[in-house]
Homo-oligomer: A and B are copies of this chain.
């Protein structure tokens, strides 16, 4: 019992929930090298790389249409604020990266909104930030969507999400920050 009393207060860690969709995800298995429903922890000085080359990219997309490094994510803190967030940079010379409606060319970067859809080629990724306190680590967590994310923007928000789980059919409308919902609201 006393060991529990003595340990340092546990910090929450900012988590970027990423819900993936590709129209041929079942046939081509482009996401087969990703771990789903599992939070992966990174040090804040790591740059998370997504792409085809598994020697360079921690997150590997198995698709010859994907660039060796497609895009990178870095963790940062907003100037004059305690808000933590992610910056995305397009590392593909061939393919634009679209963040909501902003087009990024090669080497362009932008701060990710708290919730957004990024697109490149046929890929759609819904990115939702779950805020945490840690300034030493950040986490990522993947889910797979069953249907295109672009058609689901107007679904109503129905349920609070589990610890690491975004229901695929509700992905775009769902809040990631923990929200208390009264039973009467359901």
Asked whether, in the complex, the Cβ of A79 is within 8 Å of the Cβ of B91, the reply is: no
The minimal Cβ–Cβ distance linking A103 to chain B, given in whole angstroms, is: 9
| Residues of A58-117 whose CB lies within 8 A of B | 69, 72, 74-79, 84, 87, 89, 91, 93, 102, 104-110
**Contact call A76/B44, Cβ cutoff below 8 A:** no
Inter-chain contact B79/A104, CB cutoff 8 Å: yes
Residues of B within 8 A of A105 (CB): 77
Say yes or no: A76-B89 contact (C-beta < 8 A), given A107-B84, A107-B135, A135-B107. yes
The CA-CA distance from A135 to B89 in the complex, in Å, is 14
| CB-based contact B45/A76 at 8 Å | no
Q: Which residues of B contact A47 (CB under 8 A)?
A: 47
Given the known A-B contacts A76-B89, A89-B76, are A107 and B69 also in contact in the complex, defined by CB atoms under 8 Å? no
Bound Cα distance from A110 to B88, whole angstroms: 14
Question: In whole Å, how far is A162's beta carbon from the nearest beta carbon of chain B?
Answer: 29
- Chain B residues, Cβ within 8 Å of A56: 45
> Which of B77, B78, B84, B107 meets A76, CB within 8 Å?
B107
Task: Tell whether, in the assembled complex, residue A108 and residue B76 are in contact, meaning their CB atoms are under 8 Å apart.
Answer: yes
Residues of B within 8 A of A75 (CB): 107
Among residues of B, the one whose C-beta sits closest to the C-beta of A78 is: B108
CA distance A108 to B76 in the complex (A): 6
Contact A76 B135 (CB under 8 A): no
Q: List 15 A-B contacts (CB under 8 A).
A: A45-B49, A45-B56, A45-B72, A74-B74, A74-B89, A75-B107, A76-B108, A77-B106, A77-B107, A79-B102, A79-B104, A79-B108, A79-B110, A87-B109, A106-B135
